[in-house]
Amino acid sequence: SHELTQPPSVSVSPGQTAKITCSGDVLTKQYAYWYQQKPGQAPILVMFKDTERPSGIPERFSGSTSGTTVTLTISGVQADDDADYFCQASAPGGSYVFGTGTKVNVL
């Protein structure tokens, strides 16, 4: 099966930079997408096609890619960024796969 692996958690102080990685073989052929989910809420799209930011998403969110790993970077972390983050990509056969999820703890 196709898997996307993320670190379970990342802790960061306000104003610092958080980097969330997502690794998987499919990422060499497919774009990655990132979603933010706060407790009790539906996810929202914060990054598409590896590095593109949807309208309304703050500029402090950025994306990068290298080989089998994509990274979501949050620069100048704010308390409001405390949330779960999931990567997602297309997989063969028309399916989609989500990453294991990363909890960003803003200290």
| Window 60 to 79, contacts with other proteins (CB under 8 A) | none
**Binding of other proteins by 5 (CB under 8 A):** no
| Window 11 to 40, contacts with other proteins (CB under 8 A) | 33, 35, 37
Burial of 19 per CB tally in 10 Å (0-12, 13-18, 19+): middle
Q: What is the DSSP letter of 60?
A: T
Helix (H, G, I), strand (E, B) or coil at 1: coil
- Segment contacting other proteins (CB under 8 A): 9-17, 22-30, 58-66, 92-100? 92-100
Q: What whole-number distance in Å separates Cα of residue 61 and Cα of residue 84?
A: 14
Contact, 83 vs 38, CB < 8 A? yes
Place of tokens 């294991």: 100
**Binding of other proteins by 85 (CB under 8 A):** no
- Segment contacting other proteins (CB under 8 A): 11-19, 20-28, 65-73, 94-102? 94-102
- Positions touching other proteins (CB under 8 A) are 33, 35, 37, 42-45, 48-49, 52, 54, 86, 88, 93-101
